[in-house]
Structure 1
Amino acid sequence: MKIHTIGFTKKSAETFFGLLRTSGAATLVDIRLNNVSQLAGFAKRDDLRYFVSELCGMEYTHQPDLAPTQPILDDYKKRGSDWATYEDRFFELMARRGIEDAIPRELLDNAVLLCSEDQPKHCHRRLVAEYLARRWGDVTIEHLS
């Protein structure tokens, strides 16, 4: 099983959709808490659904259960909580939600997890992929740059 990840920030539409197209993935799984912000540009939910279908031949789905809660995000982004605390809180949240049982494996097999951060190092998409890889055991992760 392979899970790809991508962020749209600091990428042109050409680069972003090119990476999706060449990944060979079948589905783009949007794991953002808020996917309709004007700041998202070409990555707003309805536009993105259209673009990935037309430009990449991919399906689109939004899975907010794979996103952190607003308080976890706010503590990290607005109140200066450190990354290690964010990671711990988000891993605990995923465990409480039981995402390894709640999200069908078929949905994420050869799929791309999408969030906004340009790099995976400090991004929840990496944490979701790593959490599921530990739980499911047969997952390869590829971060699309």
Structure 2
Amino acid sequence: MTTSETPFDFRILSIGFTGKNAERFFTLLKNGNVKTLFDVRLQNTSQLAGFAKRDDLKYFLKNICDIDYVEIPELYPEANLLKDYKNKVVTWDYYQEKYLELLSRRSVESVLSPSLLDNGCLLCSEHKPHQCHRRLAIEYLKSRWVQNFKIEHLV
């Protein structure tokens, strides 16, 4: 490590299941040395989730990759906000602002701990993190926690 590099106290990863087949999804998680997958999807039991449907996913994670599964409802978006965004009633900027306000109201930085999320991976449905609440949640926590952590998005 050079002197210009900052050591990280821990790392948090993120992944979306859309746009990936099961082989790619589980390979990314396994190669990423993920310890726990944190489900932050509001709708995680939908038939549209395929292999990533909550109960099936728990089984696959443990048996394919030896990864634990935990739901974190504190990071779920509100149903009406998500619906309005998906139906293009509100813009991404509006959604982002309201979701960050929601995290602040919930005081998620106090409810969750860095040690819980270390080598953990936040899951939602979006393929890429650019317009996804999992990225917003991680960046929100990074802005509020003292620890320095690395963010990795598995795509």
Structure with bigger gyration radius: 2
Percent identity between the two aligned chains: 50
Post-superposition shift, 1:64? 1.5
SS in 2 for 1:127: helix
Aligned equivalent of 2:78: 69
Aligned AA (1:107): L
After TM superposition, list the pairs within 5 Å mapping 1:18-97 onto structure 2. 18-97=27-106
1:142 maps to which residue?
152
Moved more, 60-69 or 2-11: 60-69
Deviations 1:73-118 (CA, angstroms, capped at 9, x unpaired):
0121114311111100000000000000111322211100000000
Structure 1: segments with no counterpart, 5+ residues: none
- Aligned pairs, number: 145
Question: What is the CA–CA distance in structure 2 between the aligned matches of 1:58 and 1:117, rounded to whole Å?
Answer: 21
The alignment yields a C-alpha RMSD, in angstroms, of 0.9
Tell me the secondary structure at the aligned position of residue 3 of structure 1: strand
Question: What is the letter of the counterpart of residue 76 of structure 1?
Answer: Y
TM-score, L = length of structure 2? 0.91
2:122 pairs with 1:113: yes
Give the letter for the 1:49 counterpart: K
Contact 1:133 1:140 in 2 (8 A): no
Runs of 4+ in 1 over 3 A off after TM superposition: none
Q: TM-score, normalised by structure 1?
A: 0.97
Q: Which has the higher helix share?
A: 1
- Code of the residue aligned with 1:55 in structure 2: it is I
**Counterpart among 131, 136, 141 of residue 122 in structure 1:** 131
Task: Give how far 1:140 is off.
Answer: 1.1
Question: Deviation per CA, 1:11-41, whole angstroms, max 9, x where unpaired?
Answer: 0000000000000110000000111000000
